[in-house]
Amino acid sequence: MELKSNEEKVTLALLLSVDCGSYDAEASLDELCELVKSAGAIPEVCVMQKLEKPESATYVGTGKLKEVAEICTQREIDLIVADNELTPTQIKNLEKATDVRVIDRTMLILDIFASRARSKEGKLQVELAQLKYMLPRLTGKGVEMSRLGGGIGTRGPGETKLETDRRHIRRKMETLKEQLADVEKHRNMLRNRRKKEGVITCAIVGYTNAGKSTLMNYLTDAGVLAENKLFATLDPTSRALKLPSGVSVMLIDTVGLVRRLPHHLVEAFRSTLEEAAQSDIILNVCDASSEEARVHMKVTEDLLNSLGCGDTPIITVLNKCDLIESDVIEQQFESGIKISAKTGEGIDELLNAIEQSLPMRFKTVNLLIPFANAGLLNEIRQKAILNSEEYVAEGIKAVAVVDEEIYSKVKEFEEK
């Protein structure tokens, strides 16, 4: 699905929503506007109708449909984007009444994901999600498969075009699942190796456009794409971060979230999101300047709970504090570390919070090692982090960050 009709003319989109009272339709429509912009189109006009439930045939009522058709003609609309998942019948009838191409929220997000995926795993996950979404929506007219990596194979004897399309999609889905299983196996091997080597992982999670990539870049010079767009980052990026104590942690940037994220995508990106679930520390980054900040935090917290992160230390990071008054933040949030990933404000406090949340296997100790046991100092240099040493009359004073193994050997020399 290519949103830009050509290089010169930008796609004008009409956003269509049915408010059934089951969620904040206004906020959801605002978010749809941002999604449309991220996809490269211009949200020209928004139309909302309050109904008990969407019309099964046309999504909106007959009168509203006529109004939408008139707007499409007057404004030269190229695309209609519905804020709910549409059935094939609803899409067909909307297109027939307006003579404009129609997509829904899920199709739009899938399209954005497809354009942003860079890694092999990301591309496989997006393609699988697209196929899962497409399969029940095939109609007898057949489906254009070229954008999914190749045309349809030779039609089987006695099969209709529809049956051939379905068979092709199911076969493609099985292949993608096998490829993803191989990628996930490799990911698990890397994860197990990190644990074996004692690498501490710290995952950055949060709502899309909260500034996660900007924070990652500020802390590690990772060079991750950081734009004021939804889903600017899709693939996880890992970089080493050295804390003030000298301990290094592996910082992992993850895909952003949105409210009502289609289950196709939650399922498809579960292995990527599990990078957060398996981490030692989680940074829940929130755009504190957004009016929807509390809602955004709730979306992230719900997902973390569903992934079983209840026992993992979670640090609430209130980003973009340079755009909002401090007392306003304090009114909105009971706790959290106020930072600006753009200016660097509050970063020292954040690094200290990460250090305070380090797993118990690392400990900062003040030691007085007798000269007779000076060999321990060499072992600390090789296997731990020696921050300072000073020779005094009683022996060697040292400050070090040690793991459980080294601590068991030096604890008798620890200064209380």
Q: Please state, rounded to an integer, the average pLDDT across all residues of the chain.
A: 81
Rounded Cα gap, residues 43 and 36, in angstroms:
6
- What are the residues whose beta carbons fall under 8 Å from the beta carbon of 328, sequence distance 6 or more? none
Pairing of strands 395-402, 385-392: antiparallel
This prediction has a pTM of: 0.69
For residue range 391-415, what is the model confidence (pLDDT) as tens digits? 999 999 999 888 878 888 888 999 8
Residue 88 C-alpha from the chain's centroid: 29
pLDDT at residue 220 tops 70: yes
Apex CA 42: angle with CA 41 and CA 48, to 5°? Answer: 110
CA gap 60, 25 in Å, rounded: 15
CA distance 79 to 69: 12
Q: Say what the pLDDT of residue 254 is.
A: 76
Strand residues in 226-382 grouped as ranges (E): 237-242, 248-253, 281-287, 314-319, 337-338, 363-369
Handedness of CA 239, 215, 257, 39 (dihedral sign): negative
Report the alpha-carbon distance of residue 372 to residue 300 in Å, rounded. 54
pLDDT(55) > 60? yes
Tell me the pLDDT tens digit for each residue of 179-190.
888 887 877 787
**Measured CA angle at 235 (ends 205, 31), to 5 deg:** 60
Using DSSP, state whether 280 is helix, strand or coil.
coil
Please report which confidence band the pLDDT of residue 271 belongs to, taking 50, 70 and 90 as the band edges. Answer: low
Q: Any idea which residue has 């917290």 for tokens?
A: 301
In angstroms, the Cα distances linking 322 to 87, 329, 340, 348, 354 are 44, 11, 6, 16, 22
Q: Which position has the higher pLDDT, 52 or 237?
A: 52
Minimum mean pLDDT range among 102-111, 293-302, 374-383: 293-302
What SS3 state is found at 204? Answer: strand
Answer whether 100's CB lies under 8 Å from 24's CB.
Answer: no
Measured distance CA(322)–CA(337) in Å, rounded:
13
> Between the CA of residue 94 and those of 64, 67, 82, 138, what are the distances in Å?
11, 12, 10, 17
What are the backbone angles phi and psi of residue 318, rounded to the nearest 5°?
A: -95, 100
Q: What is the pLDDT of residue 74?
A: 95
Residue % of the chain over a pLDDT of 90: 31
| More reliable by pLDDT, 258 or 158 | 258
> Does 48 have pLDDT greater than 90?
yes
